[in-house]
Amino acid sequence: NRRKSSLRYSSANRCESYVSERVLLFFNVSRYLILEGDVLYAYENINASNLIWKISLSHCGISRGTSNCDIVLTPKTEKQHILQIPSELFARWWNALHSSSSVRLENYYELGPILGEGAYSQVRYGRDKISKQVVAVKIMHKKSKSVKQQKLNECLYVLQQREVELMRSFEHENIVKVIDVFEGMKRVYIVMEFVAGGSLFEFLTNRQNQHLEQHVVHIIRQILSAVHYLHEKGVVHRDLKLENIMCTSKAWPTDVKVADFGLAGLLTDDEDSVMTSLVGTPYYMAPELLRGDKYDESVDMWALGVIVFSLLTGAFPFKGKNPAQILKSIESCDSVRLPESVLSSISAESESLVRSLLQKDPKKRLSASAALNHPWLTQDPSKLQRSISRDLKPDLLQIASLLSGYETNGSFGEFSPQTKFKATVQSLIAIHRMRDLVVLERKRKLRRLFFSAMAANKLVTIQKHQ
């Protein structure tokens, strides 16, 4: 189990203990209940290793049962739960449940303008009504607005819950901190620390940004420190990119924090369902992801290699006239080199790090701990005073927008460039998987023919003996 950080307001009524739940007319089972914010969790035992059910107390009916110590919970969309509370704890549970059912984001925070928006969520500016602290509030819709399939909604909910659970378990200076979590009937709200400098992608597109080599080393070390922390905890981010690295300042030098864990996965998760799933932003995907192969935390190191290359050159390492060519360039990558014009103005060791991260073979890629000890990142900062004045070039800005989801077409009946690119990715992976299936089917057919021939030969031999 992962230790969760305490929340500011939403866990004020936290309560936990063993209770009994009536599951049949005369049959009770033991449950270990944990009340956090407006969500009630029922576990099999105190270890909280097996979650039986959980419900949001928002819009949930709370009433007394037929016995003196019974509490009846009646959610709008789920089955009723009849809980038998120990008499000495009844008053505490009764008050905590009622208080938690009225916990609302708007009671503690006021929302401001939208800072960013995605397919299933948006991030808004917020302010603590009591302390006046500026915060960022991520609002995640529990159901897709555009697609009504039940399976998509279930997957979306699982990803949201995973993001909340993971972010609450992180305590690192280079990872965005969770302050509060509220869950309603239609939305989940994650209140996070506000990082004023915006994303690293936005930071690099500022034409006035000229920086020293040591500034880049400082950023890379901080990202690596966060990634190493995640990998040590058995977590793979799976969507590292310039847009998910937040800057604390709008000018050099700046500190950075890793954000957006909506696609993060656990190395201990089911191997077939998690560590083979297609996730992430296509341009930052490692070759094994594009091939549909199984993968591990080394996919984060590949993405970091793309980020380092971009910070040093103002460009992306893979070229192509269209999405299909770019994908082919990524998949066929054998060796990545920094341009001579770049190497002439920065340390030669920088290329060694880039090449060690952008290795086609995942087993040859540097781990986070090894990368932190790379000579380029451990040398004296006074030796890294050379200036880097490269911003993302205009033509590559367009590619970055295309591949990272910044452009959309408003007209009906047309696919956006992002949609077309994702379709190309899916097609490429489908081709690889189809090829593998054909090979597998051929092997199976040959095996069947072999055993059929063996069986027929055995039958002939038996008949001859008879």
- Name the token pair of 391: 């911003």
In the sheet where 134-141 sits, what is the strand order?
109-117, 121-128, 134-141, 187-193, 178-183
Burial letters 245-274, b for 16+ CB under 10 A, else e: bbbbeeebebebbbbbbbbbbbeeeeeeeb
- Phi/psi for 97 (5° steps) reads -65, -45
Residues 6+ apart with CB under 8 A from 383: 347
- Is residue 243 a known part of a binding site? yes
- Phi/psi for 72 (5° steps) reads -110, 125
Residues 6+ apart with CB under 8 A from 205: 391, 392, 397
CB 96 within 8 A of CB 15: yes
- Is residue 138 a known part of a binding site? yes
- Is residue 445 a known part of a binding site? no
Q: Which of 265, 215, 225, 223 is nearest to 246 (CA)?
A: 223
Q: Which of 200, 192, 199, 197 is nearest to 138 (CA)?
A: 192
CB 238 within 8 A of CB 265: yes
One-letter amino acid at 121 equals S
Query: Which are the catalytic amino acids?
Result: 239
Rounded Cα–Cα distance for residues 174 and 349 (Å): 24
> What letter would DSSP give residue 4?
P
Q: Which of 121, 171, 162, 163 is nearest to 142 (CA)?
A: 121
Going by their DSSP bridges, the two strands 121-128 and 245-247 should be labelled as unpaired
Cite the annotated binding site by residue number: 138, 243-244, 260
Task: Tell me the binding residues for ATP.
Answer: 138, 243-244, 260
